[in-house]
Amino acid sequence: MSMKRLRVLVLVCSTRPNALGPTVGTWLTTALAPTARTLDVDLASVAIGDLHLPFLDEEEHPARGVYQHEHTRRWSETVTGADGFIVVTPEYNYGMPATLKNALDYLSAEWAWKPVGFVSYGNTSAGTRAVQHAKQVTSTLRLVSVGSTVALRIAEAHRQGVFQPAAHHGQAAVDMLEELVRAGHALAPLRDLNGDGATPGPLPGSYVRRLRPDDGPHVTVLQRCCWVDEAIANDTLRLPALRETPDQVQAWLAEWHTTGLWHAGRLLGMIRTIRRGGTLHIGRLAVAPDLRGRGLGRWLLHTAETRHQGCDHLLLTTGTGSVRNLAFYQKQGYAPLPAANSGEVSLRKDLTS
């Protein structure tokens, strides 16, 4: 399960002058604001009309992700940065607005494995036929529709000339956001696999990608699981990996190139590197305790070593009491250096030209 703070895009679809859509969108974001804060969700409202998207004018198929026009690149960036969507749509002639269909058609991979909820409005059907129409398209794009919806009959939602939906509509919106957030976290591993930079890992179904600052909570948990043995072996709790806060972890994740090994949303292992002069520093090699002995540490170390371009040697550090670590690193070609710190041992591996 993902621990990342989710960004949910509220997409207001109608572009007709004096349309009700912006009013519905404002009501929705206001009604959801307290729940969004509780669920640690960022809500961002975007009106399709403000995107200035002409009818699809890209020569290449969207699945290729090759965009010639700036308006497409902006839209791609916006959708890529979202973890889920709430579509606020009217019903036009038993269907969704052409503006929504056009905005969906512009992109492909950017939509995949993200949850979508619908808030519809209309007269007889409260816009529900537009939602059924839209779901045919969103499911093809691998968007995952949540079951909870909000359907507003315009005549009932207006009270004395003021748009004021009933309390049960507000509760339906909260239910939808809660379901959307659960789905958004559960689908995060599939979004990772679909994203740029993810490559297959050494275990069936596992994958590797660079860790980002928002992975800090996962890294914090993994470190505290893995460095207990180090604390025991070295008879000290004064190990940074055991004491760092999530904020401190996020800070070094922004600086170091850290590779994470994942499976089904679980961080199984990691290693970080940084170049300083002619030295590639390697650190924080960690494998979940229940997966040790399966060669994952060696695999991660070799993966980190491939980042040596421009360096003439590799350097890493472990505790003087970490007998198992010392034996492992020496077997991988690292030689201990004279101790400069009574509690640590640095090991060096020279690179052949």
| 211 in the same domain as 122 | no
Q: Please, are residues 63 and 104 in contact by the beta-carbon 8 Å criterion?
A: no
Question: Does residue 269 fall inside a structural domain?
Answer: yes
| 204 in the same domain as 142 | no
Interval 14-54: pLDDT, tens: 999 989 999 999 999 999 999 999 999 999 999 999 999 99
| 208 in the same domain as 138 | no
Give the distance, in angstroms, between the CA of residue 301 and the centroid of all CA atoms in the same chain: 25
Question: Does residue 194 fall inside a structural domain?
Answer: no
Give the containing element (helix H, strand E) for 153: strand 150-153
CATH code: domain of residue 238: 3.40.630.30
Q: How many separate domains does the chain show?
A: 2
Q: In the 3-class helix/strand/coil scheme, how is 69-135 assigned residue by residue?
A: CHHHHHHHHHHHCCCEEEEEEECECCECCHHHHHHHHCCCHHHCCCEEEEEEEECCCCCHHHHHHHH
Question: Using 50, 70 and 90 to split pLDDT, how confident is the model at 111?
Answer: very high
| 178 in the same domain as 32 | yes
Question: Does residue 272 fall inside a structural domain?
Answer: yes
| 217 in the same domain as 162 | no
Single out the residue in 162, 186, 210 at which a domain terminates: 186
Cβ atoms within 10 A of the Cβ of 257, count? 15
| 114 in the same domain as 177 | yes
| 149 in the same domain as 17 | yes
pLDDT at 352: 75
Task: Please state the φ and ψ torsions of residue 95, each to the nearest 5 degrees.
Answer: -145, 180
CATH code: domain of residue 35: 3.40.50.360
Q: Give the structural domain span for 28.
A: 6-186
| 171 in the same domain as 240 | no
Residue 281 makes CB contacts below 8 A (sequence gap 6+) with 273, 274, 275, 315, 316
d(CA 14, CA 102): 12
Interval 264-314: pLDDT, tens: 889 999 999 999 999 999 999 999 999 999 999 999 999 999 998 889 999
pTM reported for the whole predicted model: 0.80
Question: Using 50, 70 and 90 to split pLDDT, how confident is the model at 1?
Answer: low
Residue 195 clears pLDDT 90, i.e. is over it: no
Question: Using 50, 70 and 90 to split pLDDT, how confident is the model at 253?
Answer: very high
Interval 127-173: pLDDT, tens: 999 999 999 999 999 999 999 999 999 999 888 788 999 999 999 99
Interval 207-222: pLDDT, tens: 999 999 989 999 999 9
| 213 in the same domain as 325 | yes
| 252 in the same domain as 342 | yes
Residue 2 clears pLDDT 70, i.e. is over it: no
d(CA 134, CA 97): 9
Question: Does residue 1 fall inside a structural domain?
Answer: no
| 204 in the same domain as 180 | no
What whole-number percentage of the chain has pLDDT above 70? 98
| Long-range contact pairs involving 240-243 (C-beta distance under 8 Å, separation at least 24) | 241/284, 241/286
d(CA 310, CA 260): 23
